[in-house]
Chains A and B, each alone.
Chain A
Amino acid sequence: MRTFRMGGVHPPENKLTAGCRILDVDLPREVTIAMSQHIGAPAICVVGKGDHVDRGAMVGKASGFVSANVFTPISGTVTGVGKIKNAYGMPVDSVTITATEEDHEKDAERPLWTSALRSSDDIAAMSAKDIVDIIGEAGIVGLGGASFPTRVKLSPPPGKHADILIVNGAECEPYLTNDHALMLEHPDEILAGVRLMMRGAGVDKAIIGIESNKMDAVRLLRGRLEGDKSVSVMELQMKYPQGGEKQLIQAATGREVPSGALPVDVGAIVQNVASAYAVYEAVVFGKPLVDRVVTVTGPSLSGRGNYRVPIGMSMAALIGIAGGIPGDSGKIILGGPMMGRTIVNVDAPTMKGVSGILILPREQSARGDVYPCIRCAGCVLACPMGLEPYRLSLLSAHSHWDSAEGEGIANCIECGCCSYSCPSSRPLLDYIRLGKNTVMAIRKSRSVQK
């Protein structure tokens, strides 16, 4: 079984919601749509207070090449335009839409996006640009967590050419099962989405990488692919961070993305399976990205499972559907436990990039006592990027940004393997992330000066 070569750890999987069917969440009465749900420039609000919007209408328009449209998942009236606290407590530009009883009933009775908008002949006749345009219009971003606009990834910069599409079904983060559930329930749609993305990007080969703890999904997808040479399913050894872009490319193709370069420099494009599903829906049904599958999980959560959630619904409401916040909660994390971020404001809306909500009990939330480094080399051996976390962390803590840059701090993918494996519980990644962000800012100002 293949995997990436350097470092990596194997945290307990804790896939508590594996095998849970995807449950549709009822449309909420109120949604809040953040303008910046992706990497890049925030969308520009195109509605005003008091406007009535229909389900699926655009509320924010992409404001540049690296940007994405945002849409409303419900019909209703715009009741607020302005700063709303996001999950981390920071004010962000958002639009709040409230549905009246009438709107709500209308949405419930009139199903949208269930019959094909485009016939299979139409789709077959589309050019690559048509497909990429539809993906861009639908506001699709990478649904694995980084939220990079999919359209941008599918259009390589001039002079560069991709020859392979790698579809990320690794789901190496513990606890999360949203991609797994999607692969089990919508294999055909995902494969159709993959083929559409291949056409959009002009590549003739695709590999779907899936870790070996999801053999049911591997078998299912392989069964649907018999006779198809262009798309293959690759079983990957379980190792974190397999889902990291560079790691996945190496595991699937053996190619190594040079430091500082993009995947397309080695001819690869990486997309998530959930994005493939969204692409399928956008092209066939004309559906913008207004919902996604979210794993709501936690050891003490009673109603944990995989939910199809309207994007913009409050997280408190979503957790309420999943049984409510348990009394012993210590941390609420957006994403998985290795890379997810802790939140303080559960009333904030869900966003495109939220793949999971993990609620850890208090006894699992505390970090261990910090001791001096015993130079065990655990972090160096665990680093999948071949860096020396102990040194980077020390350099950052003492603000030696130049040296940190020289040691390759900008290559860090923030996977957390170093902090995870440190026996002294040192906050290695805390400082490295700080150093990386600082070095990136310094580089930016340097290039501006030039």
Chain B
Amino acid sequence: MNQLLTISASPHVHTGRTVASCMWNVVIALLPALAASLYFFGLGAAVVILTSVAGCVTVEYAVTRWMFHRPATILNGSAVLTGLLLAFNLPSNIPVWIVLIGCVVAIGIGKMAFGGLGCNVWNPALVGRVFLLISFPVQMTSWPLPIVNRLNYTDAVTGATTLGAIKMSEMSSEAVAGASVDAGMTAFSVDTLQNFIGGVGGSLGEVSALALLLGFAYLLVTRTITWHIPVSMVGAVALFTLLIGGDIMVELLSGGLLLGAIFMATDYVTSPMTKRGMVLFGAMIGVITVVIRHWGAYPEGVSFAILLMNSFVPLIDRYVKPRKFGERRRVR
């Protein structure tokens, strides 16, 4: 033998699954939604997505290279993923400079300030998105109409989102007669099919439930994520909506619920480590989402709900443990 033998502790084989493969798998799962956003918003979508991805990758490279003095980590795909998710949470007519601010906040503050991938407490894309939502409320809530605006960017014709319209009518009706939530719901008629395929306005990535579900199927098949968080989150929204007497299909298909449930809440770093914890986490997000949607000032509450529950993840991990083999239950 011309070279020395290697010694190491078992196991001596590995799945081959790497951080990069996990991240790129999620990026692949986002491709249907990407295609849908390009189809519905055309030029605007292309500009926002490209800016966001390029911005996030640049910020990550700059921070790792010149502040951390570590090998650059951009190839593992996490910055691309954050960029895509941030773009998917923005309207298609948002100016480039706002997108870039979002990138700096998402990667710089949301991720790198905590020490990089694996150390952040909150989902970076959502940190960026919520920062923009609070800082630039006008630009962040003018939603271009799909399809008609394919060739427009910042000069797009805007309209209301489903949830926005509901909130508006709810508020006005409440102001007039103090009517219940149901009144608000019925005041705005919604085409479920349109909502499912993506004909209603909204953020880039959230318009097509169909595309998002395709991505979900891919993630499940490749075992990139488990079903626990998305299913418990959507289930909680459905149950809670049923309880307060809302329109379940509208609640499920509108806004960022599916995007959040499938791609944002399931972010590895900011979600719990155990199955039980995941179910609790997802269910709580669902409940908070409905609470914000119905009783909050904002028409949409998925981002806030996820960020809020992200803060509870260390607590959940501390107290929600998996059942150990041979614990409690004794057969015989």
**A-side contacts of B271, CB under 8 Å:** 375, 377
Contact A254 B331 (CB under 8 A): yes
Which residues, 5 to 24 on B, are CB-close (under 8 Å) to A? 5-15, 17-19, 21-22
Distance in angstroms from A405 CB to nearest chain B CB is 13
The majority secondary structure among interface residues of chain A is: loop
Distance in angstroms from B115 CB to nearest chain A CB is 8
Contact A388 B322 (CB under 8 A): yes
Which residues, 295 to 332 on B, are CB-close (under 8 Å) to A? 321-327, 329-332
Closest to B268 in A: A376
Distance in angstroms from B5 CB to nearest chain A CB is 6
Which residues, 405 to 441 on A, are CB-close (under 8 Å) to B? 408, 411, 414, 416, 419-425, 427, 429-430, 433
Check: A287 CB closer than 8 A to any chain B CB. Answer: no
A419–B6 Cα distance when bound, in Å, is 18
A364–B13 Cα distance when bound, in Å, is 8
Contact A423 B19 (CB under 8 A): yes
The winner among A377, A384, A390 for most chain B CB atoms within 10 A is A377
Range for the number of chain B residues in contact with chain A? 35 or more
23 A-B pairs within 8 Å (CB atoms) are namely A256-B325, A257-B326, A261-B326, A331-B8, A331-B12, A339-B11, A340-B10, A340-B12, A342-B6, A342-B7, A367-B14, A372-B116, A374-B19, A374-B117, A375-B118, A378-B17, A381-B275, A383-B322, A385-B325, A408-B324, A411-B326, A421-B17, A433-B9
Also in contact, A429 and B10, with CB within 8 A (given A258-B330, A386-B324): yes
Distance in angstroms from A210 CB to nearest chain B CB is 22
Query: Interface digits, A247-268 against B, CB 8 Å rule (1 contact, 0 not)?
Result: 0000000111111110000110
A376–B274 Cα distance when bound, in Å, is 10
**B-side contacts of A124, CB under 8 Å:** none
Closest to A427 in B: B9
Closest to B117 in A: A374
Count of interface residues, chain A, beta-carbon cutoff 8 Å: 71
Contact A376 B22 (CB under 8 A): yes
Check: A40 CB closer than 8 A to any chain B CB. Answer: no
Check: B50 CB closer than 8 A to any chain A CB. Answer: no
Query: Interface digits, B182-223 against A, CB 8 Å rule (1 contact, 0 not)?
Result: 000000000000000000000000000000000000000000
* Closest CB pairs A-B (n = 7): A416-B11, A259-B326, A372-B118, A386-B324, A376-B268, A337-B12, A342-B7
Distance in angstroms from B226 CB to nearest chain A CB is 7
Also in contact, A374 and B10, with CB within 8 A (given A329-B1, A380-B273): no
Contact A374 B268 (CB under 8 A): yes
**A-side contacts of B180, CB under 8 Å:** none
A327–B2 Cα distance when bound, in Å, is 7
**B-side contacts of A408, CB under 8 Å:** 324
Contact A377 B13 (CB under 8 A): no
Check: A190 CB closer than 8 A to any chain B CB. Answer: no
Contact A420 B324 (CB under 8 A): no
A360–B6 Cα distance when bound, in Å, is 10
**B-side contacts of A429, CB under 8 Å:** 9-11
Knowing that A258-B330, A330-B3, A419-B10 touch, tell me 11 more A-B residue pairs with CB under 8 angstroms.
Answer: A11-B13, A174-B13, A256-B331, A331-B12, A343-B5, A368-B18, A374-B117, A387-B324, A419-B14, A423-B22, A427-B9
